[in-house]
Amino acid sequence: MNASGNCIWDSWSESEDEEDIEILIIERRQYKMHERLDHFNKWDDIDFFRRFRFRKETVANILELIRPKLFRSRNITPMAKLLITLRFYALGTMLISVGDFFGVCKTTVCLVVRRVSSAIASLRKDIIKMPDSDEEMAEASYAFYNLAKFPRTIGAIDCTHVKIQSPGGDNAEHFRNRKGYFSLNVQSVSSANLKFLNIVARWPGSCHDQTIFNNSVLKMKLERKDYKKYIVVADSGYSNTPYMATPLLECTNQVEQLYNESIIRSRNVVERKYGVWKRRFPVLSLQMRIKTETVQDVIVATAVLHNIAVDFNEEIPPNELEANIPPIESFDVARIAPDNRNNVRTELLAGYFPALLQSNTSLNTS
């Protein structure tokens, strides 16, 4: 909104389709102030949760974390800014629809979502982090061991695609994935209790999972043994190494079958985490019609919020049928050729899993 009260176009907002062009060419008109409701106090706990995907107590705590990072505004309260952003995450719809819900113009929603997403994403270093002390690593490994008896594991790694609008330009086709739509290929590591331990949200949809990992800080830390004897588990789209274990493509004996059953059940946490994450924030499953740079902030911000939801024991939101959220898509990632040289899989198959089989220990935990 400019000084004269007119609602003007913000270049960050949705790309120029027919509706946007129409906005640009029509004569400016005096912006009418709409009634702005106090949504925090208007709704009871159940209705508030359905609309914003969090309980009021959790939202109040999130606000205190980002309040120093929010921009000042005379017309919109810090709580309203946060709720506007959460409503956008919960709907994944046109920005103007979110504005209508709050009685603000589309340009205001653009600005608020962009800046609040950036503020939430800035909490990443404190809320999304790998275990770094001996005690934390041992605790993480014990949690994975309780899942399916897979040893020395502190995280499960995998990628998922987040739909975006074509970014345009000469490199636009780099963002088109094997399913034919534009996306970012997001890599993350999951804990046993479905929290984000690491996230990379900057690679176009055409990139292979292994390529993303090869260029990540996480690989550097694993190679220099920052996590000591501990490892991560992955699917067959990744290489076997001394710090990463993947399933066997074929099993020829009981030991190998036991190994595959254990690693598949351990790795499954990252798939479950993606399911919960995208169910809580439907914007991740629906095509985001905002700038790619801001999509990256939204992805990281929702990952931060997901971890906060886990810490505050938030319920998983109901599956809203009216949202028409598509199911989580599975990609047939090109399998990496097996490597029988020095790697953690060979080590575990030679010692740990034969002993586990001989002890007749069930993978089912009590």
Q: What is the pLDDT of residues 70-84, one digit of tens each?
A: 978 778 899 999 999
Whether 115 and 153 share a structural domain: no
| % of the chain at pLDDT higher than 70 | 82
Written as six digits, the tokens of 225 are 């043994």
Is residue 244 classed as helix, strand or coil in its secondary structure?
A: strand
Contact (Cβ atoms closer than 8 angstroms) between residue 203 and residue 187 = yes
Written as six digits, the tokens of 188 are 């993350």
pLDDT at 75: 82
pLDDT at 34: 58
For residue 24, is pLDDT > 60? no
Whether 220 and 336 share a structural domain: yes
Tell whether 72 is covered by a domain: yes
Whether 221 and 319 share a structural domain: yes
Say which DSSP state 170 is in.
T
For residue 225, is pLDDT > 90? yes
Whether 75 and 141 share a structural domain: no
For residue 6, is pLDDT > 50? no
pLDDT digit string (tens) for 230-249?
999 999 989 999 999 999 99
Tell me the C-alpha distance between 266 and 1, whole Å: 51
Whether 75 and 193 share a structural domain: no
Tell me the C-alpha distance between 97 and 88, whole Å: 9
Task: Report the number of secondary-structure helices (H) and strands (E) in the chain.
Answer: 15, 5
| Domain extent for 24 | 18-122
Tell me the C-alpha distance between 267 and 234, whole Å: 6
Strand partners, 159: 187
Written as six digits, the tokens of 299 are 């992805």
For residue 335, is pLDDT > 80? no
**Of 95, 122, 149, which closes a domain?**
122
pLDDT at 27: 45
Of 201, 284, 268, 185, the C-alpha closest to 233 is 268
Tell me the C-alpha distance between 116 and 93, whole Å: 17
Strand partners, 198: 189
Where do the DSSP E strands lie in the chain?
153-163, 183-190, 196-204, 231-233, 244-245
- The tokens 């946490």 sit on which residue? 269
Written as six digits, the tokens of 151 are 């040893």
- Centre a 10 Å sphere on the Cβ of residue 84 and count the other Cβ atoms it contains: 24
Angle at which helix 56-66 crosses helix 78-91, to 10 degrees, equals 120
Written as six digits, the tokens of 13 are 């907002």
Whether 51 and 85 share a structural domain: yes
- Region 193-202: what's the mean pLDDT? 97
Whether 285 and 316 share a structural domain: yes
Domain count, the chain: 2
Whether 137 and 104 share a structural domain: no
pLDDT at 173: 95
The pTM of this model reads 0.85
Tell whether 297 is covered by a domain: yes
- Centre a 10 Å sphere on the Cβ of residue 95 and count the other Cβ atoms it contains: 23
pLDDT at 330: 59
Whether 50 and 174 share a structural domain: no
Q: Which residues contact 33 (CB under 8 A, 6 or more apart)?
A: 103
Tell whether 363 is covered by a domain: no
pLDDT at 18: 44
Whether 230 and 91 share a structural domain: no
Tell me the C-alpha distance between 343 and 263, whole Å: 15
**Residue 92 — left, alpha, or beta (φ > 0 → left; ψ -120 to 50 → alpha)?**
left
Whether 289 and 163 share a structural domain: yes
pLDDT at 72: 81
Query: How many Å is the Cα radius of gyration of the chain?
Result: 23
- Region 171-195: what's the mean pLDDT? 96
Measure CA 41 to chain center. Answer: 29
Of 280, 267, 282, the C-alpha closest to 333 is 267
